[in-house]
Structure 1
Amino acid sequence: MRIGPLKVKAQLYCGEEIAMGPGKADLLDAIRAAGSISRAARAMGMSYRRTWMLVDGMNRCWAERVVETTAGGGKRSGARLTAFGERLLALYRALEADLARAGESDAFAALAAHLRKTPQAPDAR
């Protein structure tokens, strides 16, 4: 999210792996809307394999499954966020909102007061 000259991006790590970040939150939104990993992948312009790997990573990083899948091709097949996944996504979005308010802080205002609009040209020494 960008607020004036401030860009804040929350990434939660599980070891070296990103367990949740803006892209994974968007993927969870797409899975919720599409009801399928493949349809979510298409909607986000990603390969199915990459999307599946992101979902698998989230499921391995959190204490509970984030996304459940049902194979078969019938009405019951597809993917959905678990109750835990829904809660996780809501908490992450709340964290993003909290971080967005950093742009309203006194510390940010003090820093921004000294920030140039554009960088100066490099010295030609």
Structure 2
Amino acid sequence: MTSKKKASAVLLRPRLYIGPAIAIGPGKIDLLRAVADTRSIAAAARSLGLPYKRAWLLIDSLNAGFGRPVVDTTTGGKGGGGACLTPLGQRIVAAYDALERRLNAEAVPELELLRELAKRPAT
């Protein structure tokens, strides 16, 4: 979905709390998507306007919460370092995407009402 379409649409972007240790929302999911696209935590952070340290802390919180890595990293060297989603990271993004699609499909009447309310002048 393009950012122009997102800006004009009314969308649900859920934030999930899975027990006391895991919180997943649009920011972490967008970061995981960016890591998958750029194959780099630093490049993913730059693309989202995040400091590298913040991006790493978000990924580290997911790693800790799930008890295993969501991103695999390789250290720099002649060819440079890199990062990619682990199978767990890929499954998290896929599950979140499916949930987001389902919620938005099921909530069409309510989302349309909210969009209409936003267009009306105050009475």
Same fold (TM over 0.5): yes
Q: TM-score, normalised by structure 1?
A: 0.74
Q: In terms of Rg, which structure is larger? A: 1
Does 1:101 pair with 2:105? Answer: yes
Q: What is the percent sequence identity of the aligned residues?
A: 39
C-alpha RMSD of matched pairs (Å): 2.9
Asked if the contact 2:73–2:82 (Cα under 8 Å) also holds between the matched residues in 1, the reply is yes
Return closer, same or farther for 1:49/1:90 CA change in 2, 3 Å cut-off: same
Aligned residues: 116
Quick check: 36-45 or 59-68, which moved more?
A: 59-68
Q: TM-score, normalised by structure 2?
A: 0.75
Counterpart CA distance in 1 for 2:59 and 2:100 is 20
Does 1:19 pair with 2:20? Answer: no
Q: CA deviation at 1:66?
A: 0.7
Aligned AA for 1:86?
Q
Counterpart CA distance in 1 for 2:78 and 2:44 is 18
Secondary structure of the residue that 1:79 maps to in structure 2? strand
Aligned AA for 1:120?
A
Structure 1 residues without counterparts, runs of 5 or longer = none
Secondary structure of the residue that 1:80 maps to in structure 2? strand
Counterpart CA distance in 1 for 2:30 and 2:121 is 32
Q: CA deviation at 1:73?
A: 2.9
Kindly report which structure 2 residues correspond to 1:76-91, keeping only aligned pairs within 5 A, or say none: 77-91=81-95
Asked if the contact 1:11–1:18 (Cα under 8 Å) also holds between the matched residues in 2, the reply is no
Asked if the contact 2:45–2:52 (Cα under 8 Å) also holds between the matched residues in 1, the reply is yes
